[in-house]
């Protein structure tokens, strides 16, 4: 019996050593060599106008960051932040929306569009116009390189003004290039708490026509309780698209309003940094659902960075999955 035990022990030891040896020598695919980060940042903060060479380098670098073999992805999302965001604030939002997308089991290459919005309100509106022109150039060049990649745009707050000018400039840009101007170059657009006049969306306006001509599906995620848009209403003396939706008049056939009030929990400090005055919370604390203007892309646990709610991103993902 003693001899049998020794034999069994030796056999077991030999088996463990053999398995360890096989495991150590087995080739494991290095996925990091093929797939890089799913987040790339395109910034116009220090560059007011891209020339052709800069655009080419920017697009190539973006594609390479997503995949080292420079293989174009099936789809790519572009997120545009809103008013009063510096470089670090924008980076936090890019990370938070990517986390919310992952929370919905939707992994997609994400381009964060960083523009100079941390200026006084009138200048921010002017910057949105210029930034939209540059984003239009980037999208055109990107689609020239990756014609089969579906582009989804998500924009928050004053980022909607960037979208407006992006689409308007895409129409002009494609005209100048003598390209078939009936192509739907953008797969979908989602506006979140849009801080623009709701009359801009109507048919036979430049924006309305651009939506019809250049976008397959256009969604406006509005919220009647948004405190930030109440401030926007008082300042601009208009009806914010993100607060009331489109007017009861003709709108593009591919346009849809979605009320997301119940997607925004009664929480302050969406980015979890402890500052309650950076997103109109000094105007009014988030005491009920829908109040928080910065919660559309999700909420972080205070001081921990962990996601506690995905805001309205589940609605965006649902629309992507069921267009």
pLDDT, tens digit, 9 for 90 and up, residues 195-225: 999 999 999 999 999 999 999 999 999 999 9
pLDDT higher than threshold 90 for residue 245: yes
CA-nearest of 172, 170, 173 to 162 is 170
Say whether pLDDT at 295 is over 90.
yes
Q: What is the pLDDT of residue 282?
A: 61
Q: 56: pLDDT confidence band, cut at 50, 70 and 90? A: very high
Please tell me whether residue 92 adopts helix, strand or coil conformation: helix
The pLDDT tens digits for 254-276 are 999 999 999 999 998 899 988 87
Residue 18: pLDDT over 50: no
Tokens 């997308």 found at:
101
Classify 2 in phi/psi space as left (phi over 0), alpha (psi -120 to 50) or beta.
alpha
Q: What single DSSP character describes residue 186?
A: E
Residues forming a β-bridge with 78: 111, 153
Q: Which domains does the chain have, with CATH numbers?
A: 31-262+312-321 (3.40.50.1820)
Q: Which of 265, 257, 287 is nearest to 194 (CA)?
A: 257
Contact (Cβ atoms closer than 8 angstroms) between residue 84 and residue 288: no
Tell me the pLDDT tens digit for each residue of 98-156: 999 999 999 999 999 999 999 999 999 999 999 999 999 999 999 999 999 999 999 99
Query: How confident is residue 284, by pLDDT bands cut at 50, 70 and 90?
Result: low
User: Bigger pLDDT: 195 or 303?
Assistant: 195
Confidence check: pLDDT of 278 > 90: no
Beta bridge partners of 152: 77, 188
Torsion of CA 217, 249, 196, 268, to 10 degrees: -80
Of the pLDDT bands very low, low, confident and very high (cuts 50, 70, 90), residue 3 is very low
| Structure confidence by residue, pLDDT tens digits, 162-187 | 999 999 999 988 776 666 555 799 99
Per-position DSSP letters for 127-177, written without gaps between them: HHHHHHHHHHHHHHHHHHH-TT-EEEEEEETTHHHHHHHHHHHHHHHHHHT
């Amino acid at each position: 019996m003693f001899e049998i035990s020794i034999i069994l022990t030796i056999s077991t030891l030999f088996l463990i050593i053999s398995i360890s040896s096989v495991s150590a020598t087995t080739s494991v695919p290095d996925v990091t060599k093929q797939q890089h980060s799913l987040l790339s940042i395109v910034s116009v903060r220090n560059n007011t106008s891209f020339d052709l060479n800069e655009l080419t380098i920017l697009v190539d670098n973006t594609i390479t960051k997503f995949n080292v073999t420079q293989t174009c992805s099936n789809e790519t999302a572009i997120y545009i932040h809103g008013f009063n965001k510096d470089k670090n604030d924008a980076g936090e939002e890019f990370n938070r929306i990517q986390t919310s997308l992952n929370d919905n089991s939707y992994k997609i290459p994400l381009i964060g569009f960083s523009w100079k919005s941390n200026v006084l309100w009138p200048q921010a509106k002017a910057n949105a116009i210029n930034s939209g022109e540059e984003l239009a150039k980037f999208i055109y060049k990107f689609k020239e390189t990756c014609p089969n990649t579906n582009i989804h745009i998500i924009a928050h707050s004053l980022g909607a003004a960037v979208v407006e000018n992006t689409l308007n400039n895409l129409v002009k840009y494609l005209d100048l290039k003598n390209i078939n101007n009936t192509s739907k170059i953008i797969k979908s657009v989602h506006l979140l708490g849009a801080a623009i006049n709701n009359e801009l969306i109507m048919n036979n306006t430049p924006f309305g026509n651009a939506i019809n001509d250049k976008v397959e599906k256009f969604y406006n995620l509005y919220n009647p309780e948004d405190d930030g848009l109440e401030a926007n209403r008082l300042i601009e003396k208009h009806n914010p698209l993100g607060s009331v939706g489109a007017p009861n008049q003709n709108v593009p056939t591919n346009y849809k309003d979605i009320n997301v009030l119940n997607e925004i929990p009664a929480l302050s400090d969406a980015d979890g940094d402890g500052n309650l005055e950076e997103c109109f919370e000094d105007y009014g604390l988030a005491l009920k659902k829908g109040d928080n203007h910065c919660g559309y892309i999700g909420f972080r646990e205070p001081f921990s960075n962990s996601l506690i709610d995905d805001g309205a991103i589940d609605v965006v993902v649902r629309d992507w999955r069921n267009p």
